[in-house]
Amino acid sequence: MEFDEIFSHLNNEMVALSISRAADETLLRPVLSLMEEYNISVHLVDDEKQLKKLLESMGAEYAGHPGIRIHHAGSDAEAAEIAVELAADGTCDILMKGALPTSIILKAVLNKKHDLIYNEILSHIALFDVPNYHKAFILTDAAMNIAPGVEEKRCIINNAVDFAHTLNIMRPKVALLSAVEKINPKISSTVDAKEVIRRIYEENMRQFIVDGPLQYDLAISKESAAVKNIDSEVAGDADILIAPQIEAGNILYKSLVYSAGARVAAVIVGAKVPIVLTSRADSAEDKFNSICLAMKSLS
């Protein structure tokens, strides 16, 4: 499926967005653009005076706007707690990290009192539009799970497949990435890939196709697969790429964005609401697309 096609026909009915530490113009610009385009409501959590001053500087129409609610918070921890509670109590459908450390917002998300965790594991999903690849694909996990073992990788795959289904990718092709395509006891990701696949087929799942270990070029290039005589339904046509650990995933993520001119949208899944974790270095378009991806997942 094409990247732009995924974002068509967004369900914006009664969507509300909760943002912790929202007094950041680089964050608010795409948020307010999205609010105007899709008529969603936003709950901004930060210092009240600072937020009001910033909104007024961005346009008189935002002062007292009916779609904007301000919640005062005096610290990062308080902002995280308020924003997470707005998601936990059903006031908001999407949670977004603003200008505060990721560890603080995740600490609030993982607090059992909020009862936000839905799946076995939280994981990071990045949807990419890469030049010269014939469709959008998912990369996971580039930001959440540091060194997932076999069972964690199985859960990460399940999260990614469930998410792909919300994008109408009904039988996604999953590639477990590694440096080589053959099992090598000295390369743990190849051993993990074999065991992950064994467990998946033991569960008799038929909602997706999985193969690995596969090198990155084999996962996305039919030509490379043909040259190397790789016979695989996944090779050259992957919908989901599973990084062996966070270093590989994060390096691949940033290489695609900064060197390959890829567009990206990213969310954390596995909670009762999608969580948008962008960084200040992300472009306004990427932030906009990430919120849109979260909205799409609600459908």
205 contact partners, CB below 8 Å, separation of at least 6: none
**7 pLDDT more than 90:** no
Same domain, 149 and 207: yes
pLDDT of residue 134: 95
Could you tell me if residue 261 is left (phi over 0), alpha (psi between -120 and 50 degrees) or otherwise beta? left
Q: Which CATH number do you get for residue 19? A: 3.40.50.10950
CB 212 within 8 A of CB 251: no
Q: CATH number, domain at 199? A: 3.40.718.10
Domain span at residue 110 reads 3-118+271-297
Query: Which residue is listed with tokens 């909670």?
Result: 271
Q: What is the pLDDT of residues 174-200, one digit of tens each?
A: 999 999 999 999 999 999 999 999 999
81 and 188 together in one domain: no
pLDDT in tens, 10-48: 766 679 999 999 999 999 999 999 988 888 999 999 999
Whether 128 and 241 share a structural domain: yes
Would you say 100 and 278 are in contact if contact means Cβ atoms under 8 Å apart?
A: no
For the cut 80, the answer to whether the pLDDT of residue 9 exceeds it is no
Question: What's the rounded mean pLDDT across residues 120-145?
Answer: 95
Q: Is the pTM of this model over 0.85?
A: yes
- Residues β-bridged to residue 138: 127, 240
Angle formed by the axes of helices 150-166 and 188-202, nearest 10°: 60
Domain count, the chain: 2
Q: What type of residue is 248?
A: A
What counts of helices (H) and strands (E) characterise the chain?
11, 11
